[in-house]
Amino acid sequence: MKVKFWGVRGSIPSPGPNTVRYGGNTTCIEVRTDDNELIIVDAGTGIFPLSQSLLGEMPLTANVLISHSHWDHIQGLPFFAPNFIPGNVLRLHGAFDPESGKGVEQVMSVQLQYSYFPVRESEMKARIEYVTLAAETSIQIGSATITPHLMNHPVINFAYRIEANGKSIFITGDHEPPQNIYEPGESEYAAYQNLVDSRNKVILRAMRGVDVLIADCSYTEQEYPEKRGWGHGTFSSSIQYAVDAGAKVLFCTHHEPTRSDAALEAAFQEVLTNHPPQPGGPTYRLAREGETYEF
């Protein structure tokens, strides 16, 4: 199986000289099975350069898994070049949105209004299909079994566990480990803590034993208190997930957009000093735009 990172920044694209080593595009991950079947997770601005690389594979069926509908995970979709070429298929997978009462089709319909983009969906030459997924219900794409798992974010967010030929990847999308909203001693604390513990066990079980864990590591421990409730994890929380789940490799991603490459490396080095890799445990890496990892 092969993973390639096309976008690793969170929240907003951050191009420029200070982000050139790790890249400024927002989330997009290409997954290839051993049979070369293409699966794309999220469609941030990184999906545009990915789409350029696919032009030699026409006609193309692109299965795109959307973790959630925040802009940094969908804003590249209107610029996905195969959409404009007859004979291609874009099959978009994602969650039902209880707030709007719509399925994943709203990801395109909202963006492809003349107020925001000059081309309507009906004018695109490719066929666009929509698959609304349910948590814990697996689907099959070629040789790959894909299971969406509900994570913790201010909108419905699916992580995806992708398994094929005995290999596995877990991609969290945006995720903040569930925490108790009550203080110890408050009457609601114990009951809510049981709920938190239950959710964390479910999430950890979904990650169990993966070869590759790709996780939201937006913040340091020092930054997190001011960002609590925003729906993002820390380097430390994702490292703990990797250790507890028995993952082989952790890729830290969704890099904070105001953090330069130098600052990102410094923050990561501090984390490794406080959480050194252990013999037989997972290795830790910073996701880098353009990097390919094969296993």
Structural contact between residues 129 and 89, judged by C-beta atoms closer than 8 angstroms: yes
Mean pLDDT per segment of 10 residues, for the chain of length 295 residues? 98 98 98 97 98 96 97 97 97 92 90 92 94 97 98 97 98 97 94 95 97 98 96 98 98 98 98 96 98 98
Please tell me the predicted confidence (pLDDT) of residue 100: 84
Q: Within 13 Å, how many C-alpha atoms sit on residue 235's CB side?
A: 24
Range of the domain at 113: 2-294
DSSP 139-206: EEETTEEEEEEE--SSS--EEEEEEETTEEEEE--S------SS-TTSTTHHHHHHHHHHHHHHHHHH
pTM: 0.96
pLDDT value of position 99: 83
Give the pLDDT confidence score for residue 120 in this predicted structure. Answer: 92
Question: What total of structural domains would you count in the chain?
Answer: 1
Say what the pLDDT of residue 20 is.
97
Q: What is the pLDDT of residue 98?
A: 87
Domain containing 156 — which CATH number? 3.60.15.10
Per-residue confidence (pLDDT) for residue 229, from 0 to 100: 95
**The dihedral formed by the CA atoms of 209, 68, 254 and 216, expressed in degrees to the nearest 10:** -40
pLDDT number for residue 192: 95
CB atoms under 10 Å from CB of 209, counted, come to 11
